[in-house]
Amino acid sequence: MPSIEVQQLEKSFSSNAQALFAGLSFTVDSDECLCLLGPSGCGKTTLLRLLMGLEKPSRGTIKMDPALDAEMSYVFQEPRLVPWRTCLENVLLPLELTAQNNPAARHRAIELLQNIGLSDRLEHFPDQLSGGMQMRVALARALITQPKMILLDEPFAALDERTRFHMQDLLLEFKARLQLQYVFVTHSISEAVYISDRILLLDNRGAARDIRSLPFSERNQSVKLTPAFNAIVSEYSSLFSEMEDSMKKADAGQSKL
């Protein structure tokens, strides 16, 4: 059974605005990590919010594997840490709200923070951390509930390159270790190629190009230097610009009318 099954999806925010996705359909298999890629305004974030249930579709259906439905986590574009809570308390928040906060959970949270290199920051407040550290705490908060699926909305977009690479590897490590599945929104082609098994390239009229698995069994940052990786990135880049061009042309045509 696929993890996610989207059929004939459409979303409009007001009655006169053009609908997003115009009948988009796709499925995500139970062992796949998917990237949503596309120019700004194409609805990547909206699609992710629809998957999480933060928005309701205007038309069409989204079916989640029931085994997965209750075990999903979400990482927002910004860390969204609660400013009056320490790192540790922020990570424990989901458990507190679902009445699962116990000594064992606390132990797990500390372990998780150790894993992401913040063991000496347990009692620090968000405003005492750098942006990269805050994002790592947000990732730990999403992982503390031991989800099977995690939805991430451009989580590393605001980070500097080095931190971003580090975070990508961290995510891949969690994927391997915890059998974690994720849907990842990004506007960086190389990031998409690096961390996903499959890419869904969206444009703003609902057409989506489905690009199949990437042939890397072993992933580490040095992969990014190989010709094969770069060939794929440049191929997708031209697809991406083609798509942007046709979007611009369509917009221009529409404004003439």
Partner 1 sequence: MITITRLWIADKLPAWIFLAGLLSIWQLIVVQGWVASYLLPSPLQIFYTTLELWPDIFVATLSTAQSILWGLGLSLIIGVTSALIFFSIPIARRAILPFCIFFQTVPIIAIAPLLVIWFGYGQPTVNASAFIVSLFPILANTLTGLQETDPQLKELFRLYKPSRWQLVFKLQIPSAIPYIITGIKISAGLAVVGAIVGEFIAGGGLGSLIDAARTQQRVDLVFSGVFMSSALALSLVYTINLITGLLFRHRPYLRNQ
Is residue 231 within the footprint of partner 1 (CB under 8 A)? Answer: no
Find the helix packing angle between 161-178 and 131-143, rounded to 10°: 10
Is residue 217 within the footprint of partner 1 (CB under 8 A)? Answer: no
- Select from 8-16, 91-99, 203-211, 239-247 the region that touches partner 1 (CB under 8 A): 91-99
C-alpha dihedral sign at 124, 126, 127, 133: positive
Single residue of 68, 93, 158, 239 touching partner 1 by CB under 8 A:
93
Is residue 236 within the footprint of partner 1 (CB under 8 A)? Answer: no
Is residue 122 within the footprint of partner 1 (CB under 8 A)? Answer: no
- Select from 12-20, 88-96, 111-119, 232-240 the region that touches partner 1 (CB under 8 A): 88-96
Instruction: Return the structure tokens found at 158.
Output: 């605001």
Is residue 74 within the footprint of partner 1 (CB under 8 A)? Answer: yes
Residue 94 CB, nearest approach to partner 1 (Å): 5
Is residue 66 within the footprint of partner 1 (CB under 8 A)? Answer: no
Single residue of 16, 98, 179, 255 touching partner 1 by CB under 8 A:
98
Single residue of 96, 160, 235, 245 touching partner 1 by CB under 8 A:
96
Instruction: Report which of 118, 185, 117, 109 is spatially closest to residue 142, judged by C-alpha positions.
Output: 109
* Helix extents (H) in 9-130: 44-52, 66-69, 87-97, 103-115
112-119 contacts: CB < 8 A, separation 24 or more?
112/140, 112/143, 112/144, 113/87, 113/88, 113/137, 113/140, 115/140, 116/140, 116/170, 118/87
Beta sheet of 72-75, edge-to-edge order = 72-75, 149-153, 181-186, 34-37, 198-202, 208-211
Note whether 198 and 32 are within 8 A (CB).
Answer: yes
Single residue of 21, 76, 182, 240 touching partner 1 by CB under 8 A:
76
Instruction: Report which of 166, 141, 140 is spatially closest to residue 221, judged by C-alpha positions.
Output: 166
Residue 242 CB, nearest approach to partner 1 (Å): 35
Residue 129 CB, nearest approach to partner 1 (Å): 13
Is residue 22 within the footprint of partner 1 (CB under 8 A)? Answer: no
Which residues have a Cβ under 8 Å from the Cβ of 256 and sit 6 or more positions away?
A: none
Instruction: Report which of 156, 90, 94, 93 is spatially closest to residue 124, judged by C-alpha positions.
Output: 90
Single residue of 19, 22, 52, 62 touching partner 1 by CB under 8 A:
52
Residue 98 CB, nearest approach to partner 1 (Å): 6
Single residue of 94, 132, 155, 206 touching partner 1 by CB under 8 A:
94
Is residue 82 within the footprint of partner 1 (CB under 8 A)? Answer: yes
Residues that bind partner 1 (CB under 8 A): 52, 54, 73-74, 76, 78, 80, 82-84, 93-94, 96-98, 125, 127
